[in-house]
Structure 1
Amino acid sequence: MKKMMVPAEHALSQTEKQFDFVNYRRLIQQCNSMSDVLDMFAKFPKLSSCNYFITMWKVAKNMSEDQKRFERQLLYQHPSFNQLCDQVMKEAKTVKLQQLMFTLYALIKIGIPQNTYLVQVLLRVVQERINECDETCLSVLSRTLEAMEECKNVEALRAGLRLLVDKQIWTLKHIFTLQTMMKCVGKDAPFSLKKKIEIKALKELDKFSPANSQHMFGALAALNHRSLLLLNECSKMVVTNIHGCPFWMLMNILQSCRDLQYQNLDLFTAIADYVTTTFDMWKMKQVLSILFAFESLRFRHINLMNRFIKRVLDESQSLNQKEILYILHIYSSLNHFHYCKDQQFLEVITSALNPYLPKILSLNLLKAVYYFCILEHFPQHLFNQLLQENIINELLVSDEESEKAEFMLRQVNACLELEDTSILKSTAITLKECSSALFHSNVEVENILLNLLENKSLFLKNVQLPYNYFVDFELRMDSKRSQLFPISEADVFTTKPDILRVALLCVPRSAFCFSTSHPRGVLGMKMRHLKALGFHVILVNTWEIKKLDMDQAVTFLKNKIFSPESLPTPIEFAT
C-alpha cells in the first residue's frame, strides 16, 4: 500500500496543533527575549496569536525598564511584528474572552502605546463582548484599565465595567478581585455603587487575609470612599500583622490614610514602633519617606524621630538638598525638639546645607530659613544670603509663590525682632499690610464669653497686633488671673505694668500633633512671639467647644481663663 503523502500545509498545521498543547512554561523557557517569541511565531504562525503576546509579557516581566525599551525597539523592527498584530485583531472576536483580556493586559504591560490601532481595536472588541465577563475577566480588565490613561474607549469600557460590577457585585468570590475593581471604577463612580462595594466588603470581612487588609487602604483611596468601619477593621488586622510588612505597603497605607483623611492612633503607632524596632534594616531615604508621610498626618512619634536624628548626625554627609529640606520641614512642622541633642542636630543640618547655598533657589533658601526660625535656630550666613534685596524682590514678584513667600518672610521678620538673637535686628523687610478682612470672628466662642462675663467691655475681639499677628480675643487681668478689667480698642497698644494681657487663641484640631496637645510649628512660634509681646496665651480648642452645651462651655472657658489657685466663686469682676 502506497504511503499517503501529507501536504506540507497540513503537516505544519498538525505540528502547530501539537505545539498548541505544549506547556507555556516550555515556550517561555525557549524564549529569552520578545524577539525570540516573534521568531517562534514566524515558525508557527497558526498557533493562537494571543498566546504570543501573553508569552512576551511573561518574558518581559523581570526586565528593567531600560531593557524593555530596548526590546520594544527590536520588536517594532521585527519582520513578523505587523503580521502578528493583524492576526490578533482578526482573532479578537472569536478567541475566548479570558485570552483576549490577558492579551490586552499583556500589550499594556510590555509598553505597546495605548493610541496604536491594535490596542484601540482590542478595546472596542472588549466593549462589544463585555457581557461575557466572568470574575477572572473582570479582574484582568480592571487591572488593565487601571494601568491605562483616559481616552474615549477607556472611558466607555470603564463605564461598562461599573455597570457590570453593579450587576455582579454579590456573586464575586475573591477579595482581591473586588479590590482590583475598586481601583478601576475610580473616584467618579456613583455613590450608590461605592456603597454597594463597601457593604460587599464588610460582608466578606471574616475572609480577609492580612494582605487583603493592607490592600484595602489603597482600594478605598482609589475609590475615594471613606468607610470608617472597613478602615477600622483593616487597621486592627494590619496592626496584628505589622512585622514583615514591606516598605512600599507601609507607604501605600499611610498615603491612603492621608488621601482619605483617616487617622488611627493604634495603626500609626504600630507602624512607627515597627520601624523603630527594626530601624537598622531601613535605608535613610525610607525612614525619611515614612516620617514625611507621618507629618502629612500630623503624627509625631517621639522615639522614631529621635532615632532618626541620631542617623542624621552619623550620616549627614550623604544628605542631598531635597532631603535636608524635607527633614527641616518635618521637624519644624511637628515642632519636634530632641531635648538632649537638638542644638547639635540643627548645627549638623546647617553644615549639611552649606555646600548647596551657592546654587540654591531663592524659595528653597527662604523655606530653610523659615524652618530654622520655627526650630529657634538662626544661622547668620543663611539670613545674610536671604535678606539681600535682589533675593527678596525675586521672592515677592513670583506669581505662583509670592503669597506663600510673603507669609514666610513675615514670620522671619517677626523672629528677627522678637527672638533672643542679635542677628540683623535693624534689618527690616518691607511688606504690604495684610488686610484684617482676612480674619473671621469666632462667633461661638464670643457667645460663650458673653455668657461667662456678661459684659462686652471685658474683652476685645479680632485684635490685630504688630508683625501681622492676630488674636481672637484679648482680656486684661491682674497678675494672679483672678480679676478682669475693662478694655477698649484704644487700649490695644497701651498697658500698665501690673496688668496682664491675656490672648485667647481659638485653634482647630489641625494646629496640634495628632492625638496630643503638642502644638505644631506655626502655632508654637506664634505662642513664643505673643509671649515676647507681653501676652499670657490661652489656647481654646474649638473642636472641644463644639461638643459642649452652653453651660458646659461656660465652665470650660472659665477654667481656662482664671487661674486654678484664684478661681473666684462666684466670679467677681472689677469695674
Structure 2
Amino acid sequence: MNNTAGSFLWSLRQFSILASTSITRRLYSLGFFQPAIAYSHWNPRILPRNVDRKTQSHVRHLFQDVSLFKPEADGFQIKVINPGTVSRIERQLSMDSRHNHASNDGLKEIDFHHETSNEEVLTKETKRTLINLKILSSECNSLSDVLDIYSKAPTFPSSNYLSAMWTIAKRMSDDQKRVERQLMFNHPAFNQLCEQMMREAKIMHYDHLLFSFLAVVKLGIPQNTLLVQTLLRVIQERINECDEKSLSVLATILDAMKPCKNVEVLRAGLRILVDQQVWNIEHVFTLQMVMRCIGKDAPVALKRKLEMKALRELGRFSVLNSQRMFEVLAAMGYRSAVLLDECSKMVIGNIHGCPLKVLINILQSCKDLHYRNSSLFKGIADYVATTFDIWKLKKIIFLLILYENLGFRPVDLMDLLVKKIIEDPGFLNMKSIISVLQIFSSLNHINEQQPPEFLEVLTSTLTGYLHHISSESLLSAMYSFCLMNHFPLVPLNQLLKEDVIKELLRSGEKNVRKLSVLDSCLKLDDVPYHKAIDLALPQLPAVPLNPNGKVAEVLRSLVGEGCFSRNVRLQHHYYIDFEIRLDTNKNQALPFSDTDAVTSADIQRVAILCVPKSVYCLDSTHPKGLFALKIRHLRAMGFYVILLNNWELEKLELEEAVAIVKTEIFSEQALPAADVN
C-alpha cells in the first residue's frame, strides 16, 4: 500500500509541475561564482505513509477543470482540461512512476518540448525513450560524449546523464579528470542539462535526485553555483521522503561538501531525521555513514543514541565495519572506549592483508580521539615489521610519525628502518631526514648495535642539503641531534651564524625554545664545539610547579623538615621537585643549614623528580627525548637523579610510600635513569 501511495504522490507532483511549466520563465543558466543563496525553510512534518485508494479518487477529482496558462503575444491563453484527458495523463505518469521505482538504469524517459502545443502534450501519449545508464556509461568514453548524446535528444530524467558522467569520470586519472571537467563546462549542452536538472528536481524520485546530486558534487561543479544551491534547497524541502538508502546517500553528499548555510541547514535536518529513525536503521554501513556526517557539533544526546545503536549491532560488524569505526568516531568527535576496544580486537585478529592506508587511518583516528591501546599499536607495528619489504618507506615513516605523536615506541619496526637507512640511504630526501630525526629523538630510540653508522649517515645526507634547507628545518634537525647527544660540526656552524639566529628569533616562541635547548646542550654536554650562541635569547615563561603533597609528606617522615628543599630552580630553565643532600656514603641526609660550610666534594646532591606517565613511552618506563635530556643534564650538573612515579605513589598508604622512597634514596644500586642513553 505504501508503494502505491508513494507512486500516486509522485505522479501528482509530476503533473503539477507539468501544468505549471507553461507559465514558468526560463531558469537561469548555471551561473558560476554567483553568491550562494541560503534556504533555511524546510518542513519538518513527516509525509503521510498510509494513503488508501479512496484518497486517490478524491485527489484525482481535484484535477477536473484545471486551468493551464500558455503565454501569448497579448496575454495568456487559457485551456481547460477535461476529466478524460486527466485520466490519460494520470495513467501515463503512473506507468512512469513504476519505472522509477524499479531501477535507475531502466527508466523510460518523458520528452518535454515546450514548443509543442498544450493539446499535443495533454492529448497524445508522451513519447518515451529508453536510456540505460549502464549502456550509456559503457558506450561513452568522455564526459563530452554524454553531453553530445544529450544534445541530440534531451530526455527525462537528467539524472541518468549526470550519473553516467560520474561513472565515466571515476575511470579517469586525476589529470584526465581536470581536462574533461573543463571541456564539460565549455560544452554548449552543459547549461541546458543543468537547467533541466533544476526543473526536474521537484518531480524526480528522491533517491534519483540524491544520486544525481552526488554526481554533481563529485564532478566538481562549484558549490556556489545556482544548480548546487537549488538542489540543496529542493533536497532540504523533501527531506522527509528519505528512506534508509537515501539517508546513506545524503550523508555521503554532506560529507563531501564544504560548510555553507544551505549545507548546515540540511545537516541540521538530517540530524533531526536520524534522531527519529536511528532505531530503524538496518544496515551497519548506513549507520556509520550518518554517524560520520552529523558532525562534531551535533548534540551529545544524539551521539550517545548512535553509540548505543552501534553497540547493539556489534555482533553484525564485519572486519571492514570495525576498521571504519575508528574514522567514523573521529569524524563525529566522540570517544567511545567500549566501541573502540571491541573494534580493536577485531582489527588485531584480522590484520593480515590489511592495506597500510587503512592502518594509518586507524592510528590517525586514535590520535584525534586521544585513544591509547598498546595492544592495537603493537599488533599493527608487528604486522608492518613482518611485511616490511612490501611497503614504501615513505609510508612507513609516516606511520612512525603517528606512533611518535601517540607516544608509542615500536622497537622492532624502528630497528628495521635503522638497518634500511644504513644499507641504502639513497631514498632519504630532506623532508624524510627531518622526520626520521624527529621520530628517533622524540622516542629516545638509538639502535644499540649500530648507533654511530646511523647518525653518521643522517649527518652526511643532511650536509648535502645545507644549500637548500630552510633555517627552521635546519634548527629542527639540529634540535633532534642534540636530544640524541650528537653534534655534527658542519650543520652546527651553519645554524650558529648570526643572521640565521636572528631570523629564527623572529619566528616565534617554538624556535626560541629549541634554541634554548641547543644552547644548554652546547654548555652542558661533551661537545667538540665549544662556541655557544652569541645572541641573548629571550626569557621563556616560567614552568608551572606541582605541589606534590604526598611526596612532601613522605620526605618529611623520612628525613625531616629541614633536610629537603622543594621546587628548586636551576640554570638553563631546569627545575627539580625536591632536592636532598647526602653524605658521600649516602647514609645520612644533611640539613641545608649545615651544608653551606661543607665543600661540594663531600656532598651528594640528590634530585627527586615526581613524574607522570606522559614522560615515558606508552606502557613502558622508557623516557621520551626531552625528559631523557633533562636527566642527562641534571647528572652533568652533579645530581644523583631519582624518579618517583606519581600514579603509583598516590595508590599507596604513607608507610608503604615511605618504604619505597627510602629504598630509592639510600640504595647503593644504580638509579633507574642511570642508563638513559
- TM-score exceeds 0.5: yes
**Does structure 2 conserve the Cα–Cα contact (< 8 Å) formed by 1:16 and 1:44?**
no
Match for 2:267: what amino acid? R
> Could you tell me how far apart the structure 1 residues matched to 2:595 and 2:243 are?
77
Between the two proteins, the alignment pairs up a number of residues equal to 551
Structure 2 partner of 1:422: 528
* Alignment counterpart, residue 130 of structure 2, candidates 19, 38, 60: 19
- Within 5 Å, which residues of 2 pair with 1:155-554? 155-398=264-507, 401=508, 403-425=509-531, 428-434=534-540, 437-453=542-558, 455-487=560-592, 496-554=600-658
**Deviation string, structure 1 residues 278-299 (Cα, Å, up to 9, x no partner):** 0110011011011111111111
Match for 1:410: what amino acid? S
Distance 1:320 1:565, change over 3 A: closer
Match for 1:461: what amino acid? R
Match for 2:602: what amino acid? D
> Could you tell me how far apart the structure 2 residues matched to 1:495 and 1:255 are?
54
Displacement of 1:108 after TM fit?
Answer: 0.7
SS of residue in 1 equivalent to 2:512? helix
**Does structure 1 conserve the Cα–Cα contact (< 8 Å) formed by 2:548 and 2:610?**
no
> Could you tell me how far apart the structure 1 residues matched to 2:247 and 2:511 are?
49
Greater CA drift, 542-551 or 30-39: 542-551
> Could you tell me how far apart the structure 2 residues matched to 1:438 and 1:16 are?
80
Displacement of 1:454 after TM fit?
Answer: 6.6
> Could you tell me how far apart the structure 2 residues matched to 1:510 and 1:535 are?
23
Displacement of 1:526 after TM fit?
Answer: 0.9
* Alignment counterpart, residue 38 of structure 1, candidates 147, 161, 183: 147
**Does structure 1 conserve the Cα–Cα contact (< 8 Å) formed by 2:478 and 2:491?**
yes
> Could you tell me how far apart the structure 1 residues matched to 2:652 and 2:246 are?
53
**Does structure 2 conserve the Cα–Cα contact (< 8 Å) formed by 1:16 and 1:47?**
no
SS of residue in 2 equivalent to 1:466? coil
> Could you tell me how far apart the structure 2 residues matched to 1:412 and 1:264 are?
34
**Does structure 2 conserve the Cα–Cα contact (< 8 Å) formed by 1:448 and 1:553?**
no
Distance 1:98 1:384, change over 3 A: same
> Could you tell me how far apart the structure 1 residues matched to 2:332 and 2:521 are?
44
Match for 1:406: what amino acid? V
Structure 2 partner of 1:5: none
* Alignment counterpart, residue 28 of structure 1, candidates 137, 147, 160: 137
Distance 1:53 1:234, change over 3 A: same
Bigger helix fraction: 1
Q: 4+ residue stretches of structure 1 with deviation over 6 A?
A: 8-11, 13-16
> Could you tell me how far apart the structure 2 residues matched to 1:16 and 1:54 are?
23
Distance 1:460 1:494, change over 3 A: farther
> Could you tell me how far apart the structure 2 residues matched to 1:222 and 1:71 are?
32
Displacement of 1:445 after TM fit?
Answer: 4.1
1:116 aligns with 2:225: yes
**Does structure 2 conserve the Cα–Cα contact (< 8 Å) formed by 1:476 and 1:486?**
yes
**Does structure 1 conserve the Cα–Cα contact (< 8 Å) formed by 2:558 and 2:662?**
no
List gaps (5 residues or longer) in structure 2. 1-112, 671-677
CA-based RMSD of the aligned residues comes to 2.3
**Deviation string, structure 1 residues 532-555 (Cα, Å, up to 9, x no partner):** 110111112223334445444444
**Does structure 2 conserve the Cα–Cα contact (< 8 Å) formed by 1:187 and 1:222?**
yes
Q: TM-score, normalised by structure 1?
A: 0.91
- Within 5 Å, which residues of 2 pair with 1:96-107? 96-107=205-216
**Does structure 1 conserve the Cα–Cα contact (< 8 Å) formed by 2:147 and 2:187?**
yes
> Could you tell me how far apart the structure 2 residues matched to 1:75 and 1:488 are?
86
SS of residue in 1 equivalent to 2:608? strand
> Could you tell me how far apart the structure 2 residues matched to 1:448 and 1:388 are?
50
SS of residue in 1 equivalent to 2:172? coil
> Could you tell me how far apart the structure 2 residues matched to 1:120 and 1:70 are?
25
> Could you tell me how far apart the structure 1 residues matched to 2:490 and 2:550 are?
44
**Does structure 2 conserve the Cα–Cα contact (< 8 Å) formed by 1:439 and 1:462?**
no
Displacement of 1:490 after TM fit?
Answer: 8.9
Displacement of 1:118 after TM fit?
Answer: 0.3
Greater CA drift, 178-187 or 551-560: 551-560
> Could you tell me how far apart the structure 2 residues matched to 1:549 and 1:98 are?
65
Displacement of 1:374 after TM fit?
Answer: 0.8
Distance 1:144 1:426, change over 3 A: closer
SS of residue in 2 equivalent to 1:187? coil
* Alignment counterpart, residue 154 of structure 1, candidates 258, 263, 269: 263
**Does structure 2 conserve the Cα–Cα contact (< 8 Å) formed by 1:441 and 1:461?**
no
Distance 1:75 1:427, change over 3 A: closer
**Does structure 2 conserve the Cα–Cα contact (< 8 Å) formed by 1:503 and 1:538?**
yes
**Deviation string, structure 1 residues 485-541 (Cα, Å, up to 9, x no partner):** 1126995x9852132111111222111111100000001111111111101111122
Larger Rg: 2
Displacement of 1:180 after TM fit?
Answer: 1.1
Match for 2:616: what amino acid? F
Match for 1:29: what amino acid? S
> Could you tell me how far apart the structure 2 residues matched to 1:268 and 1:489 are?
52
**Deviation string, structure 1 residues 433-466 (Cα, Å, up to 9, x no partner):** 445x433133334543355337321111111112
Match for 1:370: what amino acid? Y
Structure 2 partner of 1:4: none
Distance 1:481 1:206, change over 3 A: farther
Q: TM-score, normalised by structure 2?
A: 0.78
Displacement of 1:426 after TM fit?
Answer: 6.0
- Within 5 Å, which residues of 2 pair with 1:553-572? 553-563=657-667
Displacement of 1:43 after TM fit?
Answer: 2.8
Displacement of 1:202 after TM fit?
Answer: 0.6
> Could you tell me how far apart the structure 2 residues matched to 1:80 and 1:346 are?
63
> Could you tell me how far apart the structure 2 residues matched to 1:259 and 1:495 are?
53
Distance 1:552 1:260, change over 3 A: farther
List gaps (5 residues or longer) in structure 1. 1-7, 567-575
SS of residue in 2 equivalent to 1:484? coil
